[in-house]
Structure 1
Amino acid sequence: MAVGQVGSLSELENTVKSLQSSGEWSMEKGAKLAAVNGEILKIVTADTLKSSEDFMTAARLVQYDRGGLSECRLRYELTLTAMALGNDEAARAIASSWDQFLMSTGRRQHFGTQKALEGLQADKYKVQAPVTCVQTVLLNPEEARKLVKNLEGNDELRRLVEEDQKVRQGDWSKLTQEQLIAISREDDARRARLRSMLADIKIMTAQDYQDAALIMQHGCWWDDFALAHELALCATLLDPAIGRQLAALSYDRMLEYGGYLQRVGTQYHGRTLAEVDSVGFNDTMRKALGRKPLGEVEKVLGSGP
């Protein structure tokens, strides 16, 4: 396939393999490899990726040596989609791809999968490790699935999420300022208690990860939503039917609070759907994460798509 034309994934894979095996690096070779990501974007836009293997192959082909946001985000989202569709390679790769994405936003990696060349930029590669129960699943999902067999749910966590949801059943537009402040303080207290609990837990059930993610989803800054996303990833790896929608919700909310546009299309400003950046993100990917096609999402709550 000639770079610049829309072709099949297999053709692009053959092109990349040929370039990578063609001997020493050259300006021409570097330019052709750099153009690969544009070809992947065309393939995503054409919506020809369907299986988990398709998405994982595309993720593997992404050229991310420069560590820029666009390429690392593309690789992460393709890996996330493949993982949500049950791809084992994606399950093993998600922590590394997540680390790359975090670093591309100027933040610390969480799992230590990215290594510095000896003596070069060591500080850049320092790790801000997440709680143990997240590491247990994301660093070894296959072993984690064995550990959760016959594991019982956490009663206190269930109580916390029930409290979290109870206050969200009514019409918030009718609440007084004092009531809203009280709810915010209760949310703060629940998140603080949850963080304390998670510090002592090695692994939980898929439902517990989902419940913990939902509580953190009602946080107030990037780190809250990043943890919510990681917890949702754990739930998805253990049971895709449970975790994948919250993985989408937490990802969008984290992006928004980081100053980026949402990708899936789950977040509203008031009653209006917030702007969505769909470049390199299509409805097949939304479906894999348990969400509707963007054209079917309500632009104003209560008005229909």
Structure 2
Amino acid sequence: MKILVTGATGLIGQELVQLLLANNHFVNYLTTSSKKIVSKPNYQGFFWNPQESKIDENCLQGVDTIVHLAGSSIAKRWTKSYKQELLESRVLSAHLLYSLLKKTQHQVQQVISASGTAIYPDSYTAIYDENSSEVEDSFLSNVVVSWEESIDQFKLLNLKVTKLRTGVVYSQKGGALQEIIKPIKMYVGSGFGSGKQQQSWIHLTDVANLYYFVIKNQTEGIINAVAPDVISNNTLTKLIADKLRKPLFLPNIPQFVMKLILGEMHILLFNNKNIVPKRALELDFKFQYPTIQKALDNIIK
């Protein structure tokens, strides 16, 4: 099978590409940097620039499935211009792929796209699965709604469409968890706000495996790419400190302080959402790291 991957050099993209190649699949990938184009028998790069509607049409040659992971990081200060980039990096790239598929003869059968759990509203009581229709009224949620609408258009081409609403990805290789670990290692770790806010997360290995599971089984629809074990901020902070054998003696950081430091992006630390992977479990997907303890045992050595 040949898979076209966008965002192949990102955290999830690199893990997924490695998994695909290890299972003897062929990978085409799109990059905005001509310097990152590699040409190997099983791994071939192609240039694109969604901002300028440029794409190498050869990227579709022999491709059965598209995995769309491209999108600017949400972990940067949300200035007015960067907010626009967050939206356009997801929507314009999807539109460019759609336009290419619409005008080109191809054998693509399925489009699988990243999406975000930001679409679900904050709540201390609600439990969200893939059947939940509630949508939060916030900037990031609106980005996810537009993002998913741009992916749904592929259904007009009679393609199978899958959207993986991904929680916070925990990994040794970077991402949010490493940023939480750093101050704890330096004896200045603490929780945020009340610390009661729940976070839906997933180990990097599991999210890559879930994408591969969807590719192999041609699963359609919305899938919550989160572990079955939701965790509160206070509990996570304590578990990390215990694992590192570091004390926690500072009080939790108030929300207004983080707002001064991070701006609007601070809400990522205070979001409270209990999201469950109902479909993944129903489909009998096997999580390697279903609990936070197993994930931390793997990540923190």
Q: State the TM bucket, normalised to the shorter chain.
A: under 0.3
Task: Give the structure with the higher percent helix.
Answer: 1
Greater relative CO (CA pairs within 8 A, separation 6+): 2
Q: TM-score, normalised by structure 2?
A: 0.28
Q: TM-score, normalised by structure 1?
A: 0.28
